[in-house]
Amino acid sequence: MKAMILAAGKGTRVRPITYTIPKPMIPILEKPVMEFLLELLRRHGFTEIMVNVSHLANEIENYFRDGQRFGVQLGYSFEGRIVDGNLIGEALGSAGGMRRIQDFNPFFDETFVVLCGDGLIDLDLSVAVQWHREKGAIATIITKTVPLEEVPSYGVVVTDEEGRIKAFQEKPTVEAALSTTINTGIYIFEPEILDYIPSGQVYDIGGDLFPQLVAMDAPFYAIPMEFEWVDIGKVPDYWNAVRDVLSGKVRNVSIPGKEVRPGIYTGLNVSVNWDKVNFQGPVYIGGMTCIEDGATIIGPSMIGPNCRICSGALVENSVIFEYSRLGPDVRLVDKLVFGRYCVDKTGTAIDMQAAALDWLITDVRQMLPETTPLEQQEIAEIVNAVQ
């Protein structure tokens, strides 16, 4: 069976991570989120999968290649152009991307599934497809119910008692929302859906195609299903996803590495004196990371590979990406560190280099000048003042 993964977006709400990593490649404990989607599709017999790419397309294609090592066949549809030898992404929108694939050569010739490439899901796709066919639907959305305050982040769905969609709102305000049933970005389509998508122009599934189907009174349905779904639409969502995995709340994602102490997992060749570092799990530490004596690591926290946590530093309820160095006595609480950026749990980012704070958090590969004991004391006082 055939499927498509939507992977062309810039992921602006997940910046600064998506400055250098496309959303489908964002790692959940070092494994790209799109890899989990491929595993789900393969389990339910979807082995011919198209992926539309645009922003940082090479990152996705170079990792997944033809899909052979994941047990599927992958094809890529690039949306953009080349300028001075550089790929410039120009995404066509989620629906426009589908139409571009079909215009190149008719690929979608049977019932097919479309998944957004930025979520962790554990859904029985086979049951959903069966329901879709029994209804005679041309399009079906898998839906969930969320608290009212969360609806502005999603498309809102209103159905009749048969599940037929009567209204669709794309990211309404709390005041304007007609329901708390939301679009999860999991779709089932018949090939005829492509007839309603114009060729060669930007066209969105939620913003353009679905309102058109409602206006036409097309056989357009929603299936409310109970399933595990972790959306990674914004930086706080990603932060929460990693914490939930570490805490065992996400069933289909296991913590990698070796459990060296209760709730403490490590990759290869981690340098740490277990008697001189205070650990409170759950914690994951990537390979070739050094935790100096006197540091404190409190979970749920993830420290990526090739990091260095200096003496006296505190990491609590935080996520640290690879090659990060946390200076002596620095306190990192409820934060995400990505390169030169430090992001709090609301998504507010500080560019440590621009703020002249890159001596607090920096790239572990960068040579730092030696400091005297007096300078170290002055640094500690500045750190405390900043926090």
206 is written with which tokens?
A: 């939620």
Sequence length of the chain is: 387
213 HSE (CA, 13 A, CB side): 32
> Could you tell me which residues are beta bridge partners of residue 116?
6
Q: Residue 207, CB half-sphere, CA atoms under 13 Å: how many?
A: 8
Q: How far apart are CA 90 and CA 82, in angstroms?
A: 10
C-beta of residue 119 within 8 angstroms of C-beta of residue 227: no
Structure tokens at 345: 């749990």
**What tokens appear for 260 in the block?**
């060296």
Contacts of 226 (CB under 8 A, 6+ apart): none
Measured CA to CA, the distance from residue 126 to residue 3 in angstroms comes to 13
Alpha-carbon span 48 to 321, nearest angstrom: 33
Q: Is 118 annotated as a binding-site member?
A: yes
CA distance 263 to 19: 32
Phi, psi of 325 (to 5 degrees): -115, 125
**CA quadruple 162, 166, 172, 176: dihedral positive or negative?**
negative
Peptide bond into 191 cis (omega under 30): no
Binding site: which residues? 118
Binding site for Mg(2+): which residues? 118
